[in-house]
Structure formats: structure tokens, C-alpha cells
Amino acid sequence: MDATHEPEEPDPHEPGRARLSRRGLLGLLGAGVGGVAVGAGGTLAAGAIVNGAASPGTDSRTYPFYGFHQAGITTAAQDRLHFAAFDMTSTATRDDLIELLQDWSFAANRLMQGLEVAESGAGGPLLLPPEDTGEAVGLPASSMTLTFGFGPTLFRDATGTDRFGIAARQPADLTALPGFKGDLIDATISGGDLCIQACADDPQVAVHAIRNLTRIAFGRAQIRWSQLGFGRTSSTSTSQATPRNLFGFKDGTANIKSEDQAAVDAYVWAGAKAQGTWMAGGSYLVVRKIRMTLETWDRANLAEQQNVTGRDKAEGAPLSGGTEFTDPDFSATDAATGLPKIPQDSHVFLAHSRQNNSVQILRRGYNYVDGNNEIGQLDAGLFFLSYQSTPANFVAIQRRLAESDAMNEYIRHISSAVFAMPPAPASASEFVGSGLFA
Amino acid sequence: MSRLARTLALAPIVALSLAGCVPNTTATGSGSAAALTVAMTDTTCQVSAHEAESGTTSFTISNTGTDVNEFEILADDKLRIVGEKENVTPGQTVTMVQQLQPGTYYTACKFRLVGDPIDLTEFTVTGEEVAASSDQEALDAAAVLYLSYVKSQVDELVPAVTTFVNAYIDGDTAKAKSLFSAARVSYERVEPTAEQFGDLDPKIDYRKPGADAEGLDWTGFHRIEADLWFDEAGKNYPDGSIKKLSSAERKTVGTQLITDVTDLSSKVNATDFTLSISDITNGAVGLLDEVAAPDGKLSGEEDEFSHTDLSDFYANVEGADVAYGTVRDIALSKGTEGKELVDELDTQFAAMKKLLSTYGSYADGFDSYDTVSQDKRNALAAQLNALSEPLSKLAHTVLELPTAN
């Protein structure tokens, strides 16, 4: 569980700073010797614009970057998302990858505290582009989490080449997802060597983070595709109300909640296979951009919409009766027709853990609208994110859904990716994924 | 890449006699001050030796030809001017004192101060690096030499454009097409300078949307490009807004382009035209911005009819590299931060040129940009970002950081 932390002023003499690369944080290093950041005892550089430590009465909640599990997984789902997938550049080396992860970790720790990306901030000498792009100056941390992951292609590229000397350490669980019936996958918005999930309650804060982390990566990795999400579609804590997706239905009622430690341990964190490996304390992220044909859906009558979903639209209760959190009764039948009250091709029936050998996944998706297409339809849907102990759990559920889900008439999966999300660095002497290179 | 793997430029202590200053001969080099001679005629340019020790070298230049001549020392890219002596008149003997760092250079003459270099010959400087001069001297000398380079480029532009335009006016479409990208190279190397003269770049290099938006007559390179690749023009502007030009109209548009580049040359060569160090560093960044702009080379919009964007791309990078090379020694004198920046820029300029070279060369031609896949364009973009980020720190390093050798 992530605790709420007060922002901390980073100690410039932490040992983790010793290996910052010359790129990205060049200005920060400045006159430093041996990697110790700017002199004068770590005070802020002259001319820096200082981000106010979270002002009271605003969204000043911060989460720690360092720890055991990465924040942004069981963390109470924030309202906004900027997700980005990156490819390493064709000339990047193992050292480049390590330096990039070090730089990203340094920056992420600061950004999650509501600080600028480097101490020199959004100001500095007049002839130097500021280290920080500046659009989050004055904004609180806004509960931001930055969560990093490694795609299968980081270990072996499309030709099977081990570019970074890590192929031997690729987890068996980390392979590209199979195709599913009805997939309309666009390769240009799928996959990626690396990913960053930025979640925050203020979209500007999340966008600022991805933008600056992208800039730090120039020369080593380039953004491959990215996605903005504007409304969470799952609750990951019992303290959160269940939000609605763009179909207008509550989504994530039966999601794993962070308070359910047994379920989290069994189905979110990488399982027994990961023990003793660099993935101990990590998880696997599945990404599916699911386009919704909203115009068609909106013309479906209420009964059809509810039968497709398996829940009633107003309350979110299962069609077998009760209230939102009443357990679905899949054996309940309609007295008049004798048919199951929850249709067996409904989304709830097919996806529910009781129909899937008790397997659960932690959903953490967001609604998206990317404007409209050329024939006047909203280009919109669900940016599905799920964390699980192994991608195989998602695959098993998705196979069932792809085969028979009545909802398939109204959705198309248009992108697909899977990432190994390593544990958090324990302290500033590590960086995200450092165990992979140990 | 090691810093020393790349040719080092001069420590620009030389107050060129261009400005009528007395050369500063008090600088000490690692070797004894060598004295070489240069014998120039209208067609030859003989230097008495092709190597020297680093430090101060004096070149005694004698012109036995029939008209004014110029002696140049170029960097290993054969573009950047390291030292020059202009306006050596027939019968005259003059001395040019030059401080040179170890590295590879080229010597040449320029008869009547324009045209192709005569007897372009490798010149090697060995020995230890010599101490840089004071900040201000170095900055002043760099600005003077960069201006010489810009002048040499606009001087080459005029004949290249004239040859191209003549073929076009004559209706020799095949020949004109083959000369189009070459005619643009010099312009693309120094475009930010041309842009300082507000009305010239629009006339010379505007694309159709820019001219339309500003209500200008569409003239220049791209108007001719649309006429030469008229099928492509019809595809890109299916509303028929681009008309095939008549013989008379070709002559009007072509002559206008020659007039405009000649005007540019006159303005750059005017005695009161100067460039500052900021112009140089901003110009380098500006050249790469030209590549990355939404209507630039990476998107394939710049040369949307001929698809010769990669040639322009290469010329922009060369121009930025020369500008960087002009102030590279100064950056090197700025302590650890300066050395790290130079390391990074050396690496990234080399990587950018290497990647572009996989698509061709000026001599063999570059691949047509419409055949370059999105994946490959993305790789070019990634390398351009890798180069542009450190380049954005150059002005600060050169002008704001203290010297710390």
C-alpha cells in the first residue's frame, strides 16, 4: 500500500546521484564533480522557479517513488492518464539504457513530489533552454504516480537480437499477447520497448511528466505511441466510488481492491516464478485500446444495453438483483422465460472471476476521446490497462470474451501491448529495473 | 568518439588582415613559427609545404596572375573557413599569420574570390594543442570566419542557381530536374542568414501555402519545382490552383530567382553586414528546426513535388555543423561542461551525417523521400532530436560560461 507522504527536499548527496548521465541533466550537473549535483550545499540554482511544495487545500497528495512495489498499480486510481510507449533508438547501447533508467528514476522521484524535473527548474541562464518545460510550475503533485515497464522487444527485438544483453533474463511470462478473435490491431499504436504510465488528478501534471521524460530520453529512446485518458473507469480502492465508462455503465465494481491483500498478493504481484528474480515485487501490465462504436451503442435500447453488460444501468446492480455490490447470481432465472437473468453472453458473466477459475485482474483503465473520425463518429472508447501476476490470466479471460461477449458488437480492440513492471527501486542508490542489470 | 579523433579547428587568435588589424604574433605555439609560401596564379595555388607544427604559421602569399585572388584554409569538411586572405592583387605579396591546432585542413585559392576552390590540397598540422586566446578575441575571430563562410556559400549559390534556371528557361526539363537539389545546397546551408533579410526568403524559398497565406506572388525554387514536377503538383493540389507555366512565364519566374539570389549575395557581401556569435549559434539551432518543422524536411513537405528533401536535410545539418565548428574551440575552453557538450555534439553530428549518408550523397543523389518509410523517417527524427537537444545548450556554453582551461 502506498502511503501519503509529505514532499521531501531531495538530498543532493544521495549515492544514487553518482551515476547520472551527461545528457538530460547536463545543466543539473553543472560544475559538479564526480556527479554531485550543483554546489552550495544543494540549494536551488539561482534563477530557478521553485515549485511551491504542495499548497494546502489543493491536491497536494504525493506518493513515494522508492519502495518495494511501484506506485500507480494498487494506488487509488487517479482521474487522468498520460500513457507513453517508447522504443530504444537504433544506436542505443546497454549503457544508454541503464543511464536512461537512472535519469528517468531521478526525474520521476522529483516529479512525483511535485518538483521540477531537475533542480535548475524552469528558469536558469537566459541563453540556456530551461531543464524543466515549466507548465506544471505552481501546480501541486496532484497524486501523480509514474510507473515504468519493459516490453518483450526490449529483451529480444523483432529479429530476435539481444541488443542490451538482457535476453537471458526475459521472464517466461513476458511474451507478446496472442491475437484474439475480432482484433483490429494497429501496430503503430501497439507494443514498445519501454512504457511509462503517468496518472494524476490534474492532466497537465501528467502531461508535463511524460513530456519531460520524453525529452530526457532523446538520443536513447523515442516515443512510439501515447494516449491521453480523461476519466478513470475503475476503482482500485473501496474508498472510491465506481466510475462509469463511455457506455454509461459503472465499470470495475468487481475489480480487485487494494484493501483485499489476499487478492492483491495472489493476482497482482508477479507470482512464485518471480521470487528471487529482478521481477520480485513487480507485476505485468496489459494495455488494450478498445474503440467503442458509441453511435451504435447509443441507439441500442436500454434492455439490450443492460443484457450486453449484465448489470442495470442506473444502479450497476447485477441483473440477478440487489444493489451494486451484490454478488451476481448466475443461476438465477427469469420466472416467465426460464432464461438466465444474467445472459451467458453478457460481459459480466464471461469476465467474472467465478467463471474464470477465480482468476482476477486489477483493472486501471481510462476513458479516451481522440476527437472524431472523418465520417463524423467520435473516436472514443476505453483505454484498458490491467495489472496481473501473469499476462496469461488476462489472455484466458480475453479468449472467453473475444469468443462470445455480446459487447463485441460495439467494441474493437485496436491496440495491444504487454509490459513487465519491475519493483520500485528501494532507494536512490537504485533505479527502476536496476535488478535487471545487477 | 574521442574529442581528438575529430579535427580540431584553429584557436582563433588571428586577427585577420581582413579587418586591417595587426596580427597578434605574441601567441606561443608548441612548435617554432613556421614560414611557408603560397604561389598563386589564375589557375594554380602552390603551398611550399603540406604540413606544419601546431602553433603560429606564417603564409607569405604572392599573386603572379592577372586578376585578384584569395587564399583559404578550410577545415576537414572543406566548408568551414579557418583562415583566409582576400583581395590579393596581381603582383602583390602579402603575409597571413595563422594559429593552427593539430588536425587536417585544406588549402586552396579562389580566383576573383568566387567559384570552385583551386588546387584544394590536404594540409596536416601535427603536435600539441596550443592555448586558446582570450574570450573576446576568440569570439570576434569566430564571427569573422563564419561570415566568410556564409559569403562563400552565397557566392556559390548564384552560379548554381543560374545554371539550373537557364536549363529551366530553355525548357530542358530533365536537366533542370537533375540540377534542382544541387542548386539549393548552398542556400540550405545558410538559410537563417537569408531569413534576416525579411523579404528575400519568401521570394526565394516559400512554399505555396506560405505565399498564399501572406498574399504574395508565389516565386522562387518551389514555384519552379512545381512546374518541373507538374504531375506531382496536380496530385498535391487537385483543385488545379497550380498552372503549368508558359515559356514566357518560365523566363519571368526564373529570372526573378536569379535576381533574388544575386540580391542576397550583394547584401551578405556588403561591407556593413556582420554576424554575431548569437547569430551563429541560433542559426545552427534554426537550421535543425527547419528540418523538424511541420512543413519542413522530416514531414516531406519542403520539397513536396520533387521529394528531394534528404538533400536539403543534409545541407541543413552541414550548415549547423559548420556553425558549431566555428565556436567548438570556444566551447572546449569552458571546463568540464564545455568538454562534455563538445563530446556529445561531435558524436551526434557524426551519427546524423552517417545516418543520412545511408540514403545517398550529393554526388550520387539521395533517395527520393517518398520512398522512405515511416519507420525510417522516425529513426531520422530520433537522431535529429538526439542532436538538437545538446545543440540547444551551445549558446549558453559559449557565451555565458566562464573560461576554465
> Which CATH number belongs to the domain containing residue B248 in this structure?
1.20.1420.20
**Looking at the structure, do residues B173 and B49 belong to the same domain, yes or no?**
no
Chain B residues lying within 8 Å of A220, measured CB to CB: 386
Nearest CA in chain A to B349: A219
**Looking at the structure, do residues B125 and B152 belong to the same domain, yes or no?**
no
Chain A residues lying within 8 Å of B383, measured CB to CB: 89, 91
| C-alpha cell, A264 | 492483491
Q: How many domains does chain B have?
A: 2
Last-in-domain residue among B99, B131, B163: B131
Nearest to A141 by CA among A159, A114, A163: A114
The reply to whether B405 falls in a domain is no
Which residue's entry shows cell 494497429? Answer: A186
Nearest neighbour of B344 by CB, restricted to A23, A30, A91? A23
**Looking at the structure, do residues B72 and B123 belong to the same domain, yes or no?**
yes
CB pair distance less than 8 Å for A23 and B341: no
Are B349 and B322 within 8 A, CB to CB?
no
| C-alpha cell, B99 | 594559429
Degrees, nearest 5: CA angle A72-A75-A76: 125
ipTM above 0.85, yes or no: no
The reply to whether B18 falls in a domain is yes
Are A223 and A86 within 8 A, CB to CB?
yes
Check residue B304 and give its pLDDT. Answer: 95
Check residue B137 and give its pLDDT. Answer: 84
**Looking at the structure, do residues B176 and B35 belong to the same domain, yes or no?**
no
> What is the phi/psi pair of residue A127, to 5°?
-95, 5
Does residue A59 have a pLDDT over 50? yes
Q: Kindly report the number of other CB atoms within 10 A of residue B105's CB atom.
A: 28
Nearest neighbour of A127 by CB, restricted to B374, B385, B399? B399
Does residue A19 have a pLDDT over 90? no
Are A235 and A363 within 8 A, CB to CB?
no
| B85 inside 8 A of chain A by CB | no
Q: Please spell the DSSP secondary structure of A240-308, one letter per residue.
A: SPP-B-TTSSB--TTS--TT-HHHHHHHTS--GGGTTSTTTT-EEEEEEEEEE-HHHHHHS-HHHHHHH
Chain A residues lying within 8 Å of B374, measured CB to CB: 188
**Looking at the structure, do residues B171 and B294 belong to the same domain, yes or no?**
yes
| C-alpha cell, B226 | 512545381
> What is the phi/psi pair of residue B288, to 5°?
-75, -35
| C-alpha cell, B13 | 587568435
CA A157 to chain centre: 23
CA A215 to chain centre: 19
Chain A residues lying within 8 Å of B337, measured CB to CB: 26, 29-31
Nearest CA in chain A to B393: A128
**Looking at the structure, do residues B203 and B104 belong to the same domain, yes or no?**
no
Are B13 and B138 within 8 A, CB to CB?
yes
Check residue B133 and give its pLDDT. Answer: 63
Are A255 and A77 within 8 A, CB to CB?
no
Nearest neighbour of B395 by CB, restricted to A27, A127, A218? A127
**Looking at the structure, do residues B182 and B268 belong to the same domain, yes or no?**
yes
Q: Which residues contact B199 (CB under 8 A, 6 or more apart)?
A: none
Residue type, B268: V
Are A94 and A154 within 8 A, CB to CB?
no
Q: Each residue's pLDDT tens digit in chain B (405 positions)?
A: 333 333 333 333 333 333 333 333 333 344 456 889 999 999 999 999 999 998 888 899 999 999 999 999 999 989 888 888 888 999 989 888 888 889 999 999 999 888 789 999 999 999 988 776 677 888 988 999 999 999 999 999 999 999 999 999 999 999 999 999 999 999 999 998 888 887 899 999 999 998 998 899 999 999 999 999 999 999 999 999 999 999 999 999 999 999 999 999 999 999 989 998 988 998 999 999 999 988 899 999 999 999 999 999 999 999 999 999 999 999 999 999 999 999 999 999 999 999 999 999 999 999 999 999 999 999 999 999 999 999 999 999 999 898 885
Q: Cα distance from B341 to chain A (closest Cα, Å)?
A: 8
**Given CA atoms B220, B223, B226, B228 in this order, what sign does their dihedral have?**
negative
The reply to whether B368 falls in a domain is yes
Chain A residues lying within 8 Å of B400, measured CB to CB: 125-128
The reply to whether B358 falls in a domain is yes
CB pair distance less than 8 Å for A89 and B336: no
DSSP class of A5: B
**Looking at the structure, do residues B372 and B228 belong to the same domain, yes or no?**
yes
Chain A residues lying within 8 Å of B339, measured CB to CB: none
Last-in-domain residue among B131, B154, B185: B131
| C-alpha cell, A116 | 521540477
Q: What average pLDDT score do residues A111-118 get?
A: 95
Nearest to A418 by CA among A390, A382, A380, A381: A390
Residue type, B208: K
3-state secondary structure of A40: helix
DSSP class of A76: P
The reply to whether B139 falls in a domain is no
How many Å apart are CA B12 and CA B330, to the nearest integer?
Answer: 9
Q: Give chain A's mean pLDDT.
A: 88
CA A176 to chain centre: 17
| A29 inside 8 A of chain B by CB | yes
List, as ranges, residues 139-158 from B with C-beta within 8 Å of A.
Answer: none
pTM here?
Answer: 0.82
DSSP class of A129: -
Cross-strand partners of B243? none
3-state secondary structure of A386: strand
**Looking at the structure, do residues B164 and B295 belong to the same domain, yes or no?**
yes
- The share of chain A scoring above pLDDT 70, in percent, equals 87
Nearest CA in chain B to A188: B375
Q: C-alpha distances in angstroms, A137 versus A52, A133, A149, A196, A379?
A: 8, 9, 27, 21, 32
The pLDDT tens digits of the residues spanning A293-320 come to 999 999 999 999 999 999 999 999 999 9
CB pair distance less than 8 Å for B393 and A27: yes
Least confident of A86-95, A190-199, A326-335, B276-285: B276-285
The reply to whether B204 falls in a domain is yes
Task: Give the containing element (helix H, strand E) for A404.
Answer: helix A391-404
CB pair distance less than 8 Å for B389 and A218: yes
Nearest to B218 by CA among B251, B226, B261, B171: B226
The pLDDT tens digits of the residues spanning A216-271 come to 999 999 999 999 999 998 888 988 999 999 999 998 888 999 999 999 999 999 98
Q: What CATH number is attached to the domain comprising B97?
A: 2.60.40.420
Q: Which residues contact B397 (CB under 8 A, 6 or more apart)?
A: B331, B334, B337, B338, B341
CA dihedral B276, B282, B283, B286 (to 10 degrees): -160
| C-alpha cell, B204 | 526565394
DSSP class of A77: P
| A337 inside 8 A of chain B by CB | no
Last-in-domain residue among B102, B131, B160: B131
| C-alpha cell, B156 | 556559390
Check residue A195 and give its pLDDT. Answer: 98
CB pair distance less than 8 Å for B337 and A90: no
> How big is chain B by its Cα radius of gyration, in Å?
22
Chain A residues lying within 8 Å of B388, measured CB to CB: 218
> What is the phi/psi pair of residue B361, to 5°?
-150, 170
The reply to whether B404 falls in a domain is no
Instruction: State the maximum Cα–Cα separation within chain B, in Å, rounded to a whole number.
Output: 71
**Looking at the structure, do residues B283 and B184 belong to the same domain, yes or no?**
yes
**Which region, left, alpha or beta, applies to residue A189 given φ > 0 means left and ψ of -120 to 50 means alpha?**
alpha
Quick one: pLDDT band at residue A134, thresholds 50, 70, 90?
A: very high
CA A274 to chain centre: 20
CB pair distance less than 8 Å for B385 and A219: yes
| B400 inside 8 A of chain A by CB | yes
How many Å apart are CA A334 and CA A328, to the nearest integer?
Answer: 14
| C-alpha cell, B264 | 542576397
Nearest neighbour of B344 by CB, restricted to A22, A27, A30? A22
Nearest CA in chain A to B394: A128
| C-alpha cell, A296 | 451504435
Domain range enclosing B357: 146-399
- The share of chain A scoring above pLDDT 90, in percent, equals 80
| B392 inside 8 A of chain A by CB | yes
Nearest CA in chain B to A217: B386
**Looking at the structure, do residues B150 and B123 belong to the same domain, yes or no?**
no
Are B216 and B206 within 8 A, CB to CB?
yes
**Looking at the structure, do residues B116 and B157 belong to the same domain, yes or no?**
no
Chain A residues lying within 8 Å of B353, measured CB to CB: none
In terms of DSSP bridges, do strands B55-63 and B34-40 run parallel, antiparallel, or are they unpaired? parallel
CB pair distance less than 8 Å for B396 and A219: no
Q: C-alpha distances in angstroms, A101 versus A104, A136, A153, A267, B243?
A: 5, 22, 16, 27, 55
Task: Give the containing element (helix H, strand E) for A362.
Answer: strand A362-363
| A26 inside 8 A of chain B by CB | yes
Mutation for B interface: A93, A211, A218, most B CBs within 10 A: A218
For chain B, give the secondary structure using H, E and C: CCHHHCCCCCCCCCCCHHHCCCCCCCCCCCCCCEEEEEEECCCCEEECCCEEECEEEEEEEEECCCCCEEEEEECCCCCCEEEEEEEECCCCEEEEEEEECCEEEEEEECHHHCCCCEEEEEEEEECCCCCCCCHHHHHHHHHHHHHHHHHHHHHHHHHHHHHHHHHHHCCCHHHHHHHHHHHHHHHHHCHHHHCCCCCHHHHHHCCHHHHHHCCCCCCCHHHHHHHHCHHHHHHHCCCCCCCCCCHHHHHHHHHHHHHHHHHHHHHHHCCCCCCCHHHHHHHHHHHHHHHHCCCCCCCCCCCCCCCCHHHHHHHHHHHHHHHHHHHHHHHHCEHHHHHHHHHHHHHHHHHHHHHHHCCEECCCEECCHHHCCHHHHHHHHHHHHHHHHHHCCHHHHHHCCCCEC
The reply to whether B329 falls in a domain is yes
Nearest neighbour of B337 by CB, restricted to A30, A220, A222? A30
Check residue A167 and give its pLDDT. Answer: 97
